[in-house]
Structure 1
Amino acid sequence: MILRRLTTALRKQDWFTVVIETLIVVFGVFIGLQVNNWNAARVERNSEQVLLLRLQEETRSLLDTQKKELAAHSPRIGLATDANSVMFSLAPSRPLTNEECWALLVSHWMPSPTEALSSLDELLASGRFDLISNPSVKAALRDYAVVQERSRAARAEAVSELFRLHTRYPDAIWLEVGRAEDAGYVSPSAGRDDKGLVWRYSCDIDQIRGNKGLLSEYSDNIARLESFLDRYEDRIAVLTVLDTELAKELGASGSRRESDAAP
């Protein structure tokens, strides 16, 4: 309709009408583009909001898991420290306690930590990291990505040369299967099978003291274990910051939505 009127005005050389009709067309196109931009921005804000909520849920869950895993592994260092003076002949000889023997036997054990933040992995893989508009949240996410990468590299290096002391020095530390009702040293992580048998562990302090090879490898394991636990501290620190920044942003977003909805 507008184009037909514009064509007619051009034939009649009605320049005023031409200008008006042209302005109407340009203004209509501008408004249409602006509406599209507003809709795209609204969709992006909604997508960001959903993503932030997912990130907050995952961050809090992961933070809780990291703290539990750290709490489960940390006592091993304390048990090792308690036994060191006896093992390295710095104190009179005595049998290791059940717990100290267990800590010595599993000094090589460094299971894969729970550290994945799925939403962050998806953002990085899809190249949509800029969907996050808050610079503080983005900085915290970047920090966690760096810490996570360093953690994985450190663990890969640590587990490449760990020493299973009970297989290398079976006369000093060993495992055996016995009946559940018998007296003996039962690992806190020992399982029970259908026949009521359990794994037991034993440590011979006389074989351990003065065994330079065993003590050197044990010391190496403990140093790697301490580094393994330090990585937990690093992840927890960054996740705590991320959780704080997400809470601030989501609180601010909620306030903005309430303000927009107010009459």
Structure 2
Amino acid sequence: MAGGKTPVFLNKIAVHLREQNWFALAAEFMIVVSGVFLGLQASNWKEERQEREDEKTILTRLQAETATLLEVVRQEREELQARANRFTQAQSVIYSSAEPRPLTQSECNAVAASHIYRRESDQLPILEEMLSTGRFDRLRDEEIKSQLRRYILFRDRQRANHEERTNELFRLYSRHPDAIQMAQVPRGSDTDLDWGYMRNPDTRFIPQCNVEQMRSNRQFLNELFDNMGRNGHVLLGYEEREAILVELQQRLDEQVES
């Protein structure tokens, strides 16, 4: 009991004990116990309501961020597939004994940049917040929690794969200048590729590929094969990431819209 009510309550208890009024004594205790219980219950209801509101906020953000990430992943996958297609076109020329044709500029660019692998987009900011603040268990839907755990495991595995994948890549134009020469040429338009982001209003740098030198250099062929071979593994990772995110998004849509 709070404040000045405590002495009053104790005085009543003392009176009931002296008078041996057990019924009144029991009633006083019931009133106190009921008050404490109702106070605790009201506090629990308030806390539960706040948790449900927080859960709704989390689900809404998860839905939006998953949709955004899924869009980015699909865009990156399309770009990676276009790169794989250019690799395939270049391979048919470089790893062939037929009469060679010059590589197109896009094919030559792909070969010269075959050592470049950027880490895939994988961030869900609200998920990081949930993990760092201990709010993961605010989610009551076990299916969503299971899908998020699966995504966390997949994300961490892919990050480790990226570190391993990019550990020994070959910068071919530096290692084999006879096969790939970085040349300075007149600028055609503002949309032309600036290799290395070296901006110049009149000229730009581009790789120029010598197919005959490539074919005759066994080390170059092996290193190019190594660089390009990793592209397929990255594409497989994108396919799995997209499948996980699609499944998660579908469940989130069901929960948020229900």
TM-score, structure 2 as length reference: 0.90
Structure 1 residue aligned with 2:34, among 15, 27, 30?
A: 27
* Aligned residue type for 1:251: E
Deviation of 1:100 (Å): 1.2
Q: What residue in structure 1 maps to residue 67 of structure 2?
A: 60
**Amino acid of the structure 2 residue aligned with 1:118:** P
Answer with 29-38 or 226-235: which moved more: 226-235
Kindly indicate whether residue 58 of structure 2 is the aligned counterpart of residue 51 of structure 1.
yes
For 1:43, the aligned partner's letter is Q
Q: Residues 27-47 of structure 1, C-alpha deviation per residue, up to 9 Å, x if partnerless?
A: 111111111111110011111
In the alignment, which residue of structure 2 is the partner of 1:243? Answer: 249
Partners of 2:74 and 2:242 within 8 A in 1? yes
Q: Do residues 219 (structure 1) and 225 (structure 2) align?
A: yes
CA change 1:15–1:82 in 2 (3 A) is same
Note the aligned Cα RMSD (angstroms).
1.9
Aligned letter for 2:23?
A: F
Find the aligned partners of 1:205 and 1:31 in 2 and give their Cα distance.
84
Contact residue 171 and residue 207 of structure 1 kept, 8 A: yes
Does the CA contact (< 8 Å) of 1:174 and 1:203 recur in 2? yes
**Paired position in structure 2 for 1:154:** 161
- Structure 2 spans left out of the alignment, 5+ residues: 1-7
Partner of 1:197: 203
Q: Please list the CA deviations of residues 33-75 of structure 1 after superposition, one character each: whole Å capped at 9, or x if unmatched.
A: 1111111100111111111111111111111111111111211
Partner of 2:45: 38
SS in 2 for 1:160: coil
Q: Is the 8 A contact 2:186 2:204 kept in 1?
A: yes
In structure 2, give the amino acid aligned to 1:200. I
Residue by residue over 1:61-94, the C-alpha shift from the partner in whole angstroms, topping out at 9 and shown as x without a partner, is: 1111111111112111111112212211243311
CA distance in structure 1 between the partners assigned to 2:228 and 2:188 by the alignment: 33
Residue in 2 that maps onto 1:107: 114
User: Could you tell me how far apart the structure 2 residues matched to 1:180 and 1:226 are?
Assistant: 34
Give distance in 2, aligned partners of 1:189 and 1:179.
Answer: 13
Matching of residue 92 in structure 1 with residue 99 in structure 2: yes
Distance 1:181 1:135 in 2: 57
Shift of 1:187: 4.2
Q: Residue 227 of structure 1: CA displacement?
A: 1.3
The C-alpha deviation readout for 1:75-127, integer Å capped at 9, x for no partner, is 11111112212211243311111221111111111112221111111222233
What percentage of residue pairs aligned between the two structures are identical?
36
The gaps in structure 1 that reach 5 residues or longer are: 253-263
Letter in 1 for 2:211: I
Q: 1:95 to 1:142 in 2, by over 3 A?
A: same
Which has the higher mean CA deviation after the structures are superposed, 235-244 or 88-97? 88-97
> In the alignment, is residue 234 of structure 1 matched against residue 240 of structure 2?
yes
